[in-house]
Amino acid sequence: MVHATPARKHLAGRVHRYDAGMADDLQALLEAADGVMRRAHAPYSNFKVGAALRGADGTIHVGANVENASYSQAQCAEASAIGAMIAAGETRITAIAVVAERVERCPPCGGCRQRLSEFADPQTPVYLGRPGSEPLVTTLGELLPLSFGSDELNR
């Protein structure tokens, strides 16, 4: 069983600290994403999503989707988790997990794939599933082939 101890709370989201060498990192990420998914604010779509990002220092940053009556002002779970990660002072993602309440596997939308690519390498693992299940394991590069990034801006 994976045990997490809170490191500290941030305005942008909750941060959990896990031992970097933990063998059950995949399940720890899925559990963190599942826990925050349950707190999502999705009164319009009723489609709750949670995301967990492991930073380079081993900290797991979480975020949930936040809907708004002005639909275009909603924020995806992955964007919320990125905000929490940046607020905590981290800038690199080493693993990603996404959990949704109503579907078995919920890949990030196209916009979030691009957002994630700002902070993660194409080889970064992405886990899609639920805690205790066999998740789909892919990479950010497989989800976002031929991505546009800072290299293109520096040419």
Q: Which residues are known catalytic residues?
A: 78
The answer to whether 51 and 63 are in contact (CB under 8 A) is yes
- What 3-state DSSP class applies to 37? helix
Distance CA 128, CA 38 (A): 16
The answer to whether 36 and 52 are in contact (CB under 8 A) is yes
Distance CA 118, CA 61 (A): 16
